[in-house]
Amino acid sequence: MSFLKSFFASCLGTIVGLASLVAVGFILVAVLSNEGTVPIADDSVLHLKLEAPISELEVEDPFADIFPGAGQQSYGIIQIKEAIRYAKTDPKIKGIYLNTSFLLTGVASLQELREAILDFKESGKWVISYADFYSEGAYYLASVADKVYLYKEGEVEFNGLAIEVSFFKKLFDKLEIKPQIFRVGDFKSAVEPFMREDLSEENKLQLNSILGSIYGEMLHNISDSRKIPYEKLKEISDKMLVRSAALAVSNGLVDSLYYDDQIQDLLRSKLGLEKKKSMPLVTYKKYKKSFSLPASSKNEIAVIVADGNILPGKAQQGVVGARTIVEEFRKARNNDKVKAIVLRINSPGGVFQAGDMMWREITLATKQKPVIASMGDYAASGGYYLAMGCDTIVTRPTTITGSIGVFSVLFDLSKFLGDKIGITSEEVKTGEIGELVTVTRPLTEVEKDIWQKQTDAVYETFTSKAAEGRSMSQADLKKIASGRVWTGSQAKDNGLADVLGGLDDAVRIAAQKAGVSGDYKLRYYPRPKPFLERLMGDWEDNTKVKALQTELGEYYPWYQQWDKVKTYQGVQARMGVEFRVK
């Protein structure tokens, strides 16, 4: 009997293994069959239904296409703009149907998309937007359309911007966790959630200034598109006068109210189709596979994308890995075919040393060819550290930048470990100074003095290099530093940036400086990993996440918060507040 059990168990294992291989084979066949261009019918409409997070550079996830709902659904703003740009001259595309209720991205990214759609409209083709509900960000994008339609019982959120900051001091007090904080700059607010229960006056000042600047830019753009005076839009927003679909129409934010089937009939009418005819809508995912941009020029402009938190090591989605970016800059500056480099930054900062490693390679590249910085939603603190090494800094008016300051945090968990969960420890050392990075005991006064002096020294390094990069004295630079956050418009006015514009403007400036205007191809770096490497990496990561979720259950979100807090250990050049439109 024991033999039969072993035999059948072995057979079952073999069958499962073969089934797994067959499944992987089917996936590979499906992926390979999706390669190549996809034909598009005449009189088609590009359907931009943006309902996933928007990052800088899209990472292809085959599982998202093969198994709807699986994988990591996301969009890359660079690829979306390429699709819109191609659709502008594509005779098969008659217009764009914009259909989105929520947008998970920043205002600067929305401005990039608005300008791409404005450029599309110059072809004479139409753009129609429709949604059941418009969030503040979704309406900002939708307002650029020729016509903005809303579901008959829908809503438009149009009541301004708000920032809510969470504070952890009371939680730390209850858990007997003591943050040991060292910072330079009255406006360096990233550590306030650990040491305060509310906003400091300095933080309130900068947040109010930033919100006012960003929302003012948004209202001016909406005013231009909708032909509504700025003052009226401000009143509608401040008093939240639009509280229903009917009020959205009467106040001019929306053109008409329709059910979905009526919108479909309207689109058919614009295309001259009968009611029963199926709508020739082409999704963005499908359309981007229908074309390939020409790349015949021998001259290359390398666009190196730094998107996410700055950390040492390799880059991955959401992480600007110093080792990867250094390697990409080194290859680009030593490649004779690369005539200029554009550094696209969308980062709130991170580990100081990682930022400094990349800054070094950026400055070396500027000695050989033009290097232009293009700021996305964020280029703050460590993100600005990267930009300041470039020849020219191009920023969106609504970009969050500056935050030139540093801080260091170490968490003393000795009370939590000893009193809450019963773990004690003792240190043996050869000298007066013990472990400078430790969570098992409080720092001594001598060690605290060392940490503060190290933090002060890093601030001096940051401001001296920023002053050199911006061709101003360190004393003048410090007047606009101190950890204060600025919008792109404010940064342009105070000398932290050079030009207001987007990625296309940065590319144009790079081409001009390199003397290759009109004769260049764009290449984006870091290049995506091969499919199988991503497949195995994603599988491993997902397995780890699912195991943690199963083990921790309802406490998993708290683990995620703590995992994020852990990255604050040591010297940081990081902005503390994330800005996203609702």
HSE of 401 in the Cβ direction (CA atoms, 13 Å)? 35
| Other CB atoms within 10 Å distance of the CB of residue 190 | 27
Helices (H), 301-422: 322-334, 352-366, 382-387, 414-415
Q: Quote the Cα angle for 141-119-292, to 5°.
A: 100
Q: Quote the Cα angle for 551-557-563, to 5°.
A: 90
b/e for 285-302, b at 16 or more Cβ within 10 A?
ebbbbbeeeeeeeebbbb
Residue owning tokens 């008959």: 152
**Bridge partners of residue 408, in order along the sequence:** 182, 571
Q: Which residues contact 28 (CB under 8 A, 6 or more apart)?
A: none
Q: Distance (Å, rounded) from C-alpha 276 to C-alpha 574? A: 56
Measured in degrees and rounded to the nearest 5, phi and psi for residue 298 equal: -80, -15
The reply to whether omega before 229 is within 30° of 0 (cis) is no
Q: Distance (Å, rounded) from C-alpha 249 to C-alpha 214? A: 25
AA letter at 182: F
Q: Which residues are catalytic?
A: 188, 381
Q: Which residues contact 538 (CB under 8 A, 6 or more apart)?
A: 61, 63, 71, 72
